[in-house]
Amino acid sequence: MEEPKQETTPQLRGLYSKVKISVRSLNIIIVVLVALLVACMAYGIAKGGFRVSFDTQGGTVVESQVRMHGELLEKMEPPTREGFEFDGWYLDPGGTVPWDTDTDTVTESMTLYAKWKEKNG
């Protein structure tokens, strides 16, 4: 039963109809790919951490942070800008979705945008 399978590779159908491959080669491919997948996962986990960048939109530079899932952002100095007052961090450049640094926890890599209020007078 085993021998003819190895000698004449059976024809695959459908999307694989042009593929000519033996079970043995497939075994090797599967093992290699699984090893690669595990390696990628291990690398991803070892390098784990979401990068949170800050776009101050004209203000002073704020260093980006690397946080794990479910963590709060580290305390940081608010940026400053000539003639403007800092009005908090937002998830979008337009400043409509606010980010509360005291309660909101990180769940993905993202960029936070500063919102500015013109100083009175």
Q: Name the site residues for other proteins (rule: CB under 8 A).
A: 5, 9-10, 12-16, 19, 21-23, 26-27, 29-31, 33-34, 36-38, 40-41, 43-45, 47-51, 67-70, 107-109
Q: What are the structure tokens assigned to 14, written together?
A: 């459908």
Q: Which residue has the tokens 């000539």?
A: 82
Of the two residues 77 and 108, which places its CB atom closer to other proteins in the complex? 108
Q: Give 27 or 64: the residue with its C-beta nearer to other proteins.
A: 27
Determine what percent of the chain falls in helix, strand and coil, rounding each to the nearest 5: 25, 25, 50
Q: What minimum distance in Å lies between the beta carbon of 107 and other proteins?
A: 7
Separation of alpha carbons 82 and 40, rounded Å: 46
Least Å distance, CB 109 to other proteins, is 6
Cβ of 12: how many Cβ atoms within 10 Å?
Answer: 12
Q: Which is nearer to other proteins, 46 or 61 (CB)?
A: 46
Copy the structure tokens of residue 15. Answer: 């999307």
For other proteins, the closer CB: 42 or 76: 42
41, amino acid identity: M
